[in-house]
């Protein structure tokens, strides 16, 4: 395989319909939205352009509303009408209008320009519109609507009623091959083998989809190795990186992996994270950064931010510096939670300046209980763990139910998943799922199984991506197409090519032995090894911060790495050699059909077969087979979970 794209590879891309949507990453030296832009808009623009008053039909309530006005072009301040009006001296055009407030200074206009040029970043979930929705703390008892057309699954009953209310047609069901590929990737992270696909298609029993879900969930190690990615992101756990060398950070990998293998009930799982053992304390201890850090980066404040975000869907980062611009949380709330873990008196800092006041340990919802400040740190953490996991704490069960739904369906019932103060598109569905989890003793596998056995999950994806809609415009129309994670992508490539690492980097007992013995799946899962450049390009984070969702749009860097990157080049080259060595007598058509079945869970069409033969050569050559592998691996159909 040559470093540059071969003619056959380029021709294959065109013939097989390769499409990439791209976007450039913003300048990392960004203008801060919360600190630089929000105060300006509140002071100079809000009176005329937010919260129901939209002079000139220009709304700054949300990013979507601002973009709809066409007055701002992200990345191009010189083409943005907003900037032109801020600079204009024409009384008919200038903003703020003459006599309606002071003009912005040169420095303030520069902030607006920098913000626009850097992509117009907007705090996820933030709006200037004063919300009226307040979620009750306790879950409500949901009365299920009547079944429609025999669809008696509780999720389908709630969703069908919602679709009817919005006069949206019910999405059609997916076929068996699509279902098998979707559920295998969702529950195990691994593509179905061709022989498993054939057996599934030939199975005429009515419960085969439910049995497949149960089979996947019963494979404890495969389940743990796949969902390790989800939890490593959420709990900012990894195998190397910032803090591990100097002892400023501690892994929880062994505890986390075993908890997933044992399917530890979620309330117990979280209890052991907040009131930890020596094996699980790395999450709440955070990272001890070297050198000078600001007050919002100390381990105690990291604890407040991380616990709030992961378990309650609250952005406490803004409130760690000052009273939040985003929601109702105050500086004292952030510091009250931080004081629970503090070994010494914790002084409250506002915008990194000491206030002279000391924080008192407290929980965010005092109606559930309080923290006794006279207790030791370990006793305070035990108190907190009980309050967090209290069965009456609906915010706790709703948040994880919403995260699991988003993981399996492409968008949360509350969107974004870290802004649980937003109104859900179906309050009944969210409370039903959260209640189901509580009623089933916080068994996450039971919740996952319940979702994937509903016809709603087994429906054809909605065509329109929800990101194209403002939150006020969103109506559920079915699951959404999702991209494979970096780990799913590499697992698939390694399985098809026989390439990839031979031993795990994750310090998990027995993982190396299982990898050596495994014949049914890749030797080592991508979730179990250190990140490389390709994985990071495809979205695997460095996990120095909590990551609850990964980007879902293919970027320019990813397109370059997939089309001409050295790591993928080496994998397909090695893979082609491995395949030909294993079956030197196999025909080109054998390889084409085998690669399509393994990669896409279908056979090639006549047109694809003709083009693929030209790529592979007759007889097959290592270079031609590598080109075919590469063409398939960059197909959107391969990279997407439909």
pLDDT tens digits, residue range 82-130? 888 888 888 878 888 877 778 888 888 898 899 999 989 887 767 777 7
One domain, residues 310 and 370: yes
One domain, residues 11 and 65: no
SS3 string, 121-156, reads: CCCCCCCCCCCCCCCCCCCCCCCCCCCECCECCHHH
Residue 473 CB burial class (10 angstroms; 0-12, 13-18, ≥19): exposed
| 377 compared with 120, residue with greater pLDDT | 377
User: Which of 83, 117, 151 is where one domain is finished?
Assistant: 117
pLDDT tens digits, residue range 121-160? 887 767 777 765 778 899 999 999 999 999 999 999 999 9
| 455 compared with 18, residue with greater pLDDT | 455
Which pLDDT value is given to residue 509?
A: 74
Q: Is residue 637 part of a domain?
A: yes
Mean pLDDT value across residues 576-584? 94
Which pLDDT value is given to residue 518?
A: 52
One domain, residues 351 and 415: no
Please state which of the ranges 40-44, 517-521, 579-583, 608-612 shows the lowest mean pLDDT. Answer: 517-521
One domain, residues 422 and 367: no
Mean pLDDT value across residues 260-281? 98
| 91 compared with 257, residue with greater pLDDT | 257
Band of the pLDDT at 511, cuts 50, 70, 90?
low
pLDDT tens digits, residue range 459-508? 999 865 544 445 567 899 999 999 999 999 999 999 999 998 989 999 98
One domain, residues 402 and 444: yes
Please state which of the ranges 50-59, 64-73, 427-436, 527-536 shows the lowest mean pLDDT. Answer: 50-59
One domain, residues 573 and 610: yes
One domain, residues 15 and 39: no
Q: Is residue 581 part of a domain?
A: yes
The pair of structure tokens assigned to 603 is 């056979």
Which pLDDT value is given to residue 418?
A: 94
Residue 603's domain comprises 7-20+553-641
The rounded radius of gyration (Å) of the Cα atoms in the chain is 26
Please state which of the ranges 112-121, 223-232, 324-333, 372-381 shows the lowest mean pLDDT. Answer: 324-333
SS3 string, 452-478, reads: HCCCCCCECCECCCHHHCCHHHCCCCC
Mean pLDDT value across residues 260-283? 98
Residue 15: phi and psi, rounded to 5, are -65, -35
One domain, residues 348 and 420: no
CA distance linking residue 589 with residue 609, whole number of Å = 8
One domain, residues 312 and 340: yes
Which pLDDT value is given to residue 349?
A: 96
User: Which of 375, 405, 434 is where one domain is finished?
Assistant: 375
Q: Is residue 254 part of a domain?
A: no
Vertex 322 angle, CA 320 and 324, to 5°: 85
pTM (predicted TM-score): 0.86
Which pLDDT value is given to residue 521?
A: 53
One domain, residues 299 and 323: yes
Please state which of the ranges 32-41, 342-351, 446-455 shows the lowest mean pLDDT. Answer: 32-41
Q: Is residue 500 part of a domain?
A: no
Q: Is residue 353 part of a domain?
A: yes
In the Cβ-directed half-sphere of 40, how many Cα atoms lie within 13 Å?
Answer: 22
One domain, residues 365 and 399: no
One domain, residues 16 and 37: no
Q: How many CB atoms lie within 10 A of CB 249?
A: 22
Mean pLDDT value across residues 314-342? 91
Q: Is residue 284 part of a domain?
A: no
Q: Is residue 309 part of a domain?
A: yes
Band of the pLDDT at 514, cuts 50, 70, 90?
low
Task: Return the percentage of the chain with pLDDT > 90, whole number.
Answer: 68
Tally the domains of the chain: 4
User: Which of 308, 341, 375 is where one domain is finished?
Assistant: 375
Q: Is residue 329 part of a domain?
A: yes
Mean pLDDT value across residues 413-418? 95
Residue 290's alpha-carbon distances to 199, 250, 287, 294, 349, in angstroms, are 56, 15, 9, 12, 20
């Amino acid at each position: 395989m040559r470093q540059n794209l071969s003619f056959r590879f380029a021709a294959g891309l065109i013939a097989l319909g390769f499409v990439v949507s791209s976007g450039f990453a913003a300048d990392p030296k960004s203008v801060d939205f919360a600190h630089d832009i929000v105060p300006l808009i509140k002071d100079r623009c809000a009176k005329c352009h937010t919260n129901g008053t939209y002079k000139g039909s220009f709304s700054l309530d949300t990013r979507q509303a601002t973009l709809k006005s066409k007055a701002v072009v992200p990345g191009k301040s010189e083409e943005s009408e907003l900037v032109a009006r801020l600079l204009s001296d024409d009384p008919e055009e200038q903003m703020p209008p003459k006599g309606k407030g002071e003009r912005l200074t040169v420095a303030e206009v520069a902030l607006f320009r920098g913000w626009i040029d850097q992509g117009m970043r907007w705090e996820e979930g933030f709006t200037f519109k004063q919300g009226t929705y307040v979620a009750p703390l306790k879950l409500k008892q949901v009365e299920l609507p009547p079944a429609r057309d025999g669809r008696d699954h509780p999720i389908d009953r709630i969703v069908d009623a919602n679709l009817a209310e919005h006069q949206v047609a019910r999405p059609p069901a997916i076929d068996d091959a699509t279902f098998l590929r979707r559920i295998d990737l969702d529950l195990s992270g691994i593509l179905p083998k061709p022989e498993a696909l054939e057996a599934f298609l030939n199975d005429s029993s009515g419960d085969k989809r439910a049995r497949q879900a149960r089979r996947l969930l019963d494979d404890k190690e495969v389940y743990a190795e796949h969902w390790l990615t989800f939890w490593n992101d959420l709990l900012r756990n990894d195998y190397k990186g910032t803090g591990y060398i100097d002892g400023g950070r501690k892994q929880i990998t062994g505890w986390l992996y075993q908890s997933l293998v044992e399917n530890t009930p979620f309330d117990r799982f979280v209890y052991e994270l907040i009131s930890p053992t020596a094996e699980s304390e790395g999450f709440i201890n955070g990272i001890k950064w070297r050198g000078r850090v600001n007050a919002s980066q100390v381990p105690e404040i990291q604890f407040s931010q991380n616990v709030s975000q992961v378990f309650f869907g609250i952005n406490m980062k803004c409130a760690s510096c000052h009273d939040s611009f985003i929601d109702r949380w105050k500086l004292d709330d952030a510091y009250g939670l931080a004081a629970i873990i503090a070994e010494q008196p914790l002084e409250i800092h506002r915008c990194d300046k000491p206030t002279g006041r000391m924080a008192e340990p407290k929980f965010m919802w005092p109606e559930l209980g309080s923290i006794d400040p006279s207790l030791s740190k370990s006793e305070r953490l035990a108190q907190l763990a009980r309050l967090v996991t209290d069965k009456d704490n609906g915010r706790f069960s709703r948040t994880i139910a919403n995260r699991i739904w988003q993981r399996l369906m492409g968008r949360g019932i509350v969107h974004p998943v870290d802004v649980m103060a937003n109104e859900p598109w179906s309050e009944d569905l969210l409370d039903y799922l959260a209640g189901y989890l509580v009623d089933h003793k916080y068994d996450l596998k039971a919740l996952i199984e319940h979702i994937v056995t509903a016809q709603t999950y087994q429906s054809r994806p909605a065509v329109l991506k929800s990101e194209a809609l403002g939150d006020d415009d969103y109506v559920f129309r079915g699951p959404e197409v999702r991209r494979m994670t970096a780990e799913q992508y590499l697992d698939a490539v390694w399985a098809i090519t026989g390439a990839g690492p031979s031993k795990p980097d994750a310090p998990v007992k027995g993982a190396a032995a299982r990898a050596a013995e495994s014949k049914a799946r890749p030797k080592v899962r991508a979730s179990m090894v250190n990140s490389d450049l390709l994985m990071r390009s495809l979205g695997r984070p460095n996990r120095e911060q909590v990551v609850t969702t990964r980007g879902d749009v293919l970027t320019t860097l990813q397109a370059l790495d997939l089309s001409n990157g050295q790591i993928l080049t080496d994998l397909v080259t090695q893979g082609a050699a491995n395949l030909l060595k294993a079956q030197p007598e196999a025909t080109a058509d054998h390889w084409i059909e085998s690669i399509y079945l393994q990669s896409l869970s279908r056979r090639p069409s006549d047109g694809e077969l003709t083009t693929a033969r030209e790529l592979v050569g007759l007889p097959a050559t290592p270079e031609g087979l590598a080109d075919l592998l590469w063409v398939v691996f960059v197909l959107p159909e391969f990279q997407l979970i439909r």
